[in-house]
Each structure stands twice: as C-alpha cells, then as structure tokens.
Structure 1
C-alpha cells in the first residue's frame, strides 16, 4: 500500500512539473514567441537611428539591434541576419561618425553589439570593433575626475556612478567580451561591479532606488538591474567566488518582484505603487529574469513559471500589428520627485521597450 501511495505521489509530482514546463512553451496563436519576435525584429530593419545626444548610436538602439540579431540567429533566419548586417555595414564607413565615444556607461555598452555580430558571423572585424569598448571601461583616461580615479584604484570601472541602470550597461559589454574571448578578466570585472552595486543599493525588500538620492522604485531602472544580474549569472562560472553573493541578490529581488506583480500580469511604473500605471519595458525585463531563472533552475518552476506566463500573455496585448510596443516610459533621468515618475510620457515603439520584448522572445525560444 505504501509503495502504491509513493508511486501515486511521484506521478502527481511529475505531472505537475510537466504541466509547469509547458507554461513557457505552449502559447495560443498570436502569442507564440516566434510570431511576436518576427514582428518586432523585422520592424527594426527599416527603423531610423535613435541617436544619443543626436550624435551616436544610443543604448536603446544598440539593445534593439542585439535582440533582433539574437532572434535571427535562434531562428536560423539568414535573411534577417543579412538585413541586420547590411544595416550595420555603414558604421564601418559612411556612418562611422555615429560610433559612440568611449567615456560613459551609456556609450561603452555599444561594444556589446559588434561582439554579438562576431559571435553570430565569426567575422573578426566585429570583435576588433567591439572589444575596445569593454577594455576602455577599465582604462582610466588622463582627464578622469578624482572620484573616477578613486573607483579605479579600488578595482572598479572608472565609469562607476551607482545608478542601477549601470548594472546592465556595464554587465552586458563585459559579459559579451568574456563570451567571445574566454578571458576571465571580463567576467571578473562584471562580477566585482555587481557585488558593489548590490551591497550599496539593494534595499531590504529586494528592490532598488533609482539612485541613492532618488528614493523611488522606478520600474525600468529596476528592470535594468534584473536583466543585468540575470545576464551575468547565465555566464558566471559556477565556482566563481562572487556567485553566491550575486545569486542571493538576484533571488531576493525576484521574490519581491513576484510579490509586486499586478493582477493583470504587469508591473507598474513605480513598482510598489498600485495606483501607478502599468509600464511595458520594465515588465518585459522582469519577465526575462523570471524566464531565465526558471529555465536554469534558479527559481522554483511551480512558483515562477505561472507568473512568467501571466506576464508574457499580458505583454503581448501591448504589441500592435506593426510590431510596436505601447505604454513604454520614455527616456528618464533621475529626479527626487515622485510625481515626475507618474507623469513621464508613454511612448509607442520606443526602443526602450522593443529591446526587452525581444529578450523575452529569445529566452522563451532558447532550449
């Protein structure tokens, strides 16, 4: 009798795990990651540049480009890969003036894009273009400010500023460099920087203020952190000395995000304010962190897979038939004013939203 009961319990357990696994695979027509990804990725091919300060390829464009390229690679869509290459080609020649300079976290992250092209095409010139963006993040310029030199003396990037946005900007280019070269120094840099930000900025509830002097849990700001720590953990060696600390910070954040997920499946512009509006870019970043966490076994599948699916199903409703995501908070500087975050304009097709939607698409498509 006891044996029979044990078999029954094991069967129930297996069926439950199997059912949770299907939550991130089986989607109704119009909601599959392949369909949504194709719509959003191909939209970028003919899109205009979104320039930083009107001069250089911006970080939202960089990440949209990367997301589309990753989608094309996963789908083995040679046509899309070629179209994206053709779009990039002028940056080697006639549009080289748009290549970002290497003096800020929001500019150095550009290197992650050519390094992604290198990983897809194995063409050396992409790596040659991208690596200097990773390297100069730890090479202190002669005109560096005293506080920048102080960070460097402690082993951190001189571009450290303790804004949570940085934990995607810095992490992505250093992690990409590690993936492409296998050089341990890159992943060590990213890990050391992440530990600093976790120690300095994570609050008891697991979330992060936009900056030390801005005490608000802004959605996309926390999204950058959620996506950055997730991306780092994907490639950080299992025996790395900083992995336990980073995983602890990740798990603490994920628990809080699950608690603050709205009944509609989304997260709000101010995460802890139920009266605030649902915002898509941050929601997509959190969903990405959930999907990767579940697939890698960092998060309990029974607990987080339903939340990830609920979020994805809600997110798709914000994508129009042209592949443009709506209700995206526009680019946002920090400000110690709660109403400022309430009143930020909502955009349609803003690259801040297009990119993280593709992160979710790619995370769902990956084996």
Structure 2
C-alpha cells in the first residue's frame, strides 16, 4: 500500500470521525427543552445561581453602599429563586429563602419598600410566593396590601399629579407612566395576588393595564421603543414586556376578554425576536443594531418568554423550541464558577442617544441578569 493511499485512508478516517463527532453533537444539541449536555441542565444551573443569591447581601444597583430598601432587581431574583425551588422540589432552598426574608418582619422592617411606585410595588410578588409555598398568613397580608394599594387612590408625591388621578378614574393603576418596564413591575404583583387568592379582580386589572400599554407602545414590528421619545429597541426594556406578557398569559383565564389582544401582542413580539437572534443564541443590547454587544439580561428574558410559549402551546414548537434551546445554551456560557453572570447592562434610564446605550457599563453578578437565568430554569422545569 503506497504512502499516498495510506494518507488518503487516514484523511478519510479523520473526516469520517470528525463527521461522526459532529453528528453526535448535533443529535445531543437537538434534545429540545428536556435533554441537556452535562453541566447545562436547568437543574444544575439553577442550583448554582440560586445558591449564589442566598450567599450575597442585599444589592444596591452595583454601588458599594447597602441599599435603604430592597431593590427591584433583588425582588426579581428572589422570586426566581423561589419558583426554582418549587419546581426543583428543593425544600432546603425554600428554607434559606424564608430565612432571608424573616428579618424584614423585624430588624430590617425599614427595608420593605413603600408601595407608592411600580419599582417598589413589585416587591409584593415575593411574600405572595412565600405564602403559596408556606401558607404563612403574614406573607399573604403583606403581599395583598401592596397589590391593593397599587389599585387604590393615588398616594405619596403623585397624589397631586392630575394624570395619576385620571388613570385611577379609568380603572388603571395610578402608578401608570407608560414605561415598558411597568409591564412586569405592575403585572407581576397582580398576577401573584391572583395566584395566591384566586380572586379574579387582580388578574383582570393586570390584563386591562397590559392592553393599554400594548395599544399605546407596541410598534408594527412587535418591539417597543424604550420610551416614546427614545426611538431605540433597548434589550432589557423589551425584555420586561416579553416576560410580563408571558407571566400574565400563563395565569390569565381563557375567557378573559383581553386575552386575545395580549396573545396577539405576545406572538407578534416573539416572531420579531426570532429575526434578531444571533447565531450564538444571544440577543443584543440594542435588539436591531448589529454593532451592539450581546447582552445577558435581555437574552434571559426573551428566552423565558419563548420557553413559556413553547411549553404552553402558544408558539409553534418546531420553530421556537430550537431558538429557545440555542438561547439557553448561549446564555449560560456567560455564568462563571461562582454563579455570577456577566455582560449585564447596568441600570439604565432613557436617553435619545444610540451611543449612550452602547456605552453602558457591563456588569457581572448584577441581579438584573441573575433573575432571568432563574426564571428560565424554572420555566424549563415546569
């Protein structure tokens, strides 16, 4: 057998082996939303990120000083850790999360946010989840009080603002401000109050509010500007809308008159997001800007919304399941050994300036990014 022929056989063998390995990897990665390569399963990743949450102190938007009140990113992470604990049947984790909350009834009572703003009211989602898992009435009392105040008459500094009274008179929350972030902050606590009590008034409030925001803010392509005067599709801003709609639809009764409109807005958004997903599975800081960097908090939020849609049967499985799987596998590559996720856009106000969004600091371990990972892990386990 001549050398040339030996080399040809060797080369053929290498190509064949490489082809087989690639095929095996392809088959492994085609496991839908149930079968995962070692180290990438929602159970493994969720445990790591939840354990990280338990061990870190209360965060203050990346500042070195402790916060005066519990911040909404921590609330979102706490809620995610609790739902993950439920779906993974981890009673030890539930106990740890209960212990983290207990001082808020005593020595840290001043850290419970005053419910006079959407970012403060979302806190109510945590005690309501704790009530559903422990049946401790203290949690229900606290959570319901916050949910009810959100739909009560205007309070605090905004009591004198005519628009607050106008929204209240229209049957909306007086906290309405037409920021896309609101559609998680408002709907989360109301949906939780419905889940905890079974009283439809809570979920009906949230659905009515969502329709107003969709009719006012959703663009023809299904996405949302950060604000009416800021024509940029900022990733995390749109992420709040995606998660808000998915969480609301998950519990909204099928006979609710607003369900069809919300589902329409949700599906339109999901179809648009498919077009902008990168080959890595990620979405970008500015969704439609190819020069923008892959950002983890929005990717986690969009992934959660897609996973939920596939699992609930709202989205076509053949189209969206591969996208959701690719997104999860891409997202978790950003998590380090401690359980912190990197490339999280810092807390961001609106500004009509593209460069402003591109230059935002990229945080590691910021709870804006930790929370969506836990939401995804929960959704995958449901």
Settle same-fold status: TM greater than 0.5. Answer: yes
Aligned to 1:28: 37
8 Å contact from structure 1 (residues 21, 301) kept in 2? no
Aligned to 2:126: 113
8 Å contact from structure 1 (residues 20, 301) kept in 2? no
Residues 94 and 307 (structure 1), Cα distance of their counterparts in 2 relative to 1, 3 Å cut: same
Structure 2 residue runs of 5 or longer lacking an equivalent are 1-27
Q: What is the CA-CA distance between 1:256 and the residue it aligns to?
A: 0.1
> After superposition, where does 1:82-93 map in structure 2 within 5 Å?
82-93=95-106
For the residues of structure 1 that align with 2:37 and 2:353, how far apart are their CA atoms?
A: 41
Q: What is the CA-CA distance between 1:330 and the residue it aligns to?
A: 0.7
8 Å contact from structure 2 (residues 154, 165) kept in 1? no
TM-score scaled by length of structure 1: 0.93
For the residues of structure 1 that align with 2:312 and 2:84, how far apart are their CA atoms?
A: 20
For the residues of structure 2 that align with 1:22 and 1:58, how far apart are their CA atoms?
A: 37
Q: What is the CA-CA distance between 1:80 and the residue it aligns to?
A: 1.1
> After superposition, where does 1:1-367 map in structure 2 within 5 Å?
22-51=31-60, 54-141=67-154, 143-366=159-382
Q: What is the CA-CA distance between 1:51 and the residue it aligns to?
A: 4.1
Q: What is the CA-CA distance between 1:73 and the residue it aligns to?
A: 1.6
More displaced 10-residue stretch of structure 1: 21-30 or 99-108: 21-30
Aligned to 2:13: none
SS at match of 1:268: coil
SS at match of 2:334: coil
For the residues of structure 1 that align with 2:30 and 2:255, how far apart are their CA atoms?
A: 28
Q: What is the CA-CA distance between 1:184 and the residue it aligns to?
A: 1.1
Q: Choose 1 or 2 for highest CA Rg.
A: 2
Q: What is the CA-CA distance between 1:50 and the residue it aligns to?
A: 1.9
8 Å contact from structure 2 (residues 154, 164) kept in 1? no
Q: What is the CA-CA distance between 1:22 and the residue it aligns to?
A: 3.9
Q: What is the CA-CA distance between 1:202 and the residue it aligns to?
A: 0.2
Alpha-carbon RMSD: 1.6
8 Å contact from structure 1 (residues 39, 323) kept in 2? yes
TM-score scaled by length of structure 2: 0.89
> Deviation string for 1:191-211 (max 9, x for gaps)?
000000000000010000011
For the residues of structure 1 that align with 2:134 and 2:247, how far apart are their CA atoms?
A: 21
8 Å contact from structure 1 (residues 280, 326) kept in 2? yes
Aligned length: 349
For the residues of structure 2 that align with 1:20 and 1:47, how far apart are their CA atoms?
A: 33
For the residues of structure 1 that align with 2:225 and 2:146, how far apart are their CA atoms?
A: 28
More displaced 10-residue stretch of structure 1: 329-338 or 44-53: 44-53
Q: What is the CA-CA distance between 1:141 and the residue it aligns to?
A: 3.0
SS at match of 2:274: helix
Structure 1 residue runs of 5 or longer lacking an equivalent are 1-18
SS at match of 1:278: coil
